[in-house]
Amino acid sequence: MLPPLTYELLSSWICRHAVFYGVQPVTMLRHCLSDASSMREIDFRRTTKQAACIAHVFRTDATVVRQMSFANLCPDSHRWIAAKPMQFCANCRHQANSKGPEPVSRSQLLGWRITCSQCGSPLSDNEGNAVASPINSNWNEALNGQRLIDDEAQHGVQSWAPPMELARLLLMRRDPRTSNAAPNGNPRLLGAVLPEIDAVLANSRIVLPSPAKPILPLMLRPALLAAVAILERQGPFMLARLEERMIDQNRSRFRELAATMLCIPPEPVELSYLQHI
């Protein structure tokens, strides 16, 4: 049996066993769990019973298996998890000594990570470029933002607002008139917190993703994480300042999301005299 590596993803461990025994990954998966449909399912929706079955087959402790999937993360974090590895730790890759295919760690798929969960080194993208924030002075803030989202995803810890929702708010489009260097004419609220990011986006021609899919390229991720930390520290009054940067339907949507995030009941709809009859 191949021992799991620290922070290795469950599907990666199963795939390494498949190569070791010369079978297809799905064959190895169904040898462990006859009703399993896919590797992604076992990474995200692994049950306690399934963890016990896998542990029995691979002769390890069920606690170890339970820690290898994303099933212990809060559901809201799943939109932040990529389908394939998009980053790696050069330090851990150099030190790894495993048989078969290269193991995949959980942090390689986490869209809010900028440092390795195991050793703390800055991550590199799949082209080998180490994370380098275009706003270097905010690196410590970015690490704080990473910690805030980690705490929410893994332990459900948050202060006045969910950090992941703050990050999504920052990706909403704002009034173009509030930007001196609008990236493709669609500046985001992120630039209202870190004004220098507008010029970075305009020069790089990178279009930020929507709040529905909030995974940023590794080089821009520190800026978003830093802005989350700044918002979280300054408190709810900052939301009112950000709302002033919105227009039309985006402002209504922002107000709705902020109210939901702060658990504020919606304003009552005024009824006409006829509606009261």
Summarised one tens digit per residue, pLDDT across range 210-219 is: 999 999 999 9
- The per-residue b/e assignment along 8-40, b for 16 or more CB within 10 angstroms, e otherwise, is bbbbbbbbbbbeeeeeebeebbebbbeebeebe
pLDDT for position 229: 97
Provide the b/e sequence for 218-228 (b: ≥16 CB within 10 Å): bbbbbbbbbbb
The pLDDT assigned to 79 comes to 95
Using pLDDT thresholds of 50, 70 and 90, give the confidence band for residue 136.
low
Within its chain, how far is the Cα of 38 from the centroid?
22
pLDDT value at residue 132? 65
Q: Find the radius of gyration of the CA atoms of the chain.
A: 22
- What is the pTM assigned to this prediction? 0.86
Q: pLDDT at residue 153 above 50? A: yes
pLDDT band at 126 (very low <50, low <70, confident <90, very high): confident
Q: Percentage of the chain with pLDDT > 70?
A: 88
pLDDT surpassing 70 at residue 232 = yes
Quote the tokens at residue 185. 């004419």
12-51, pLDDT tens digit by residue? 999 999 999 999 999 999 999 998 889 999 999 999 999 9
In this prediction, residue 167 has a pLDDT band, given cuts at 50, 70 and 90, of very high
Residue 10 has pLDDT above 70, yes or no: yes
Percent of the chain topping pLDDT 90 = 58
- Residue at token pair 């869209």: 111
Write out pLDDT tens, residues 79-106.
999 999 999 998 887 666 655 678 999 9
Which pLDDT band holds residue 181 (cuts at 50, 70, 90)?
Answer: low
CA–CA separation, 65 vs 52, rounded Å? 8
Residue 80 CA, distance from chain mean position: 3
Instruction: Give the pLDDT confidence score for residue 253 in this predicted structure.
Output: 87
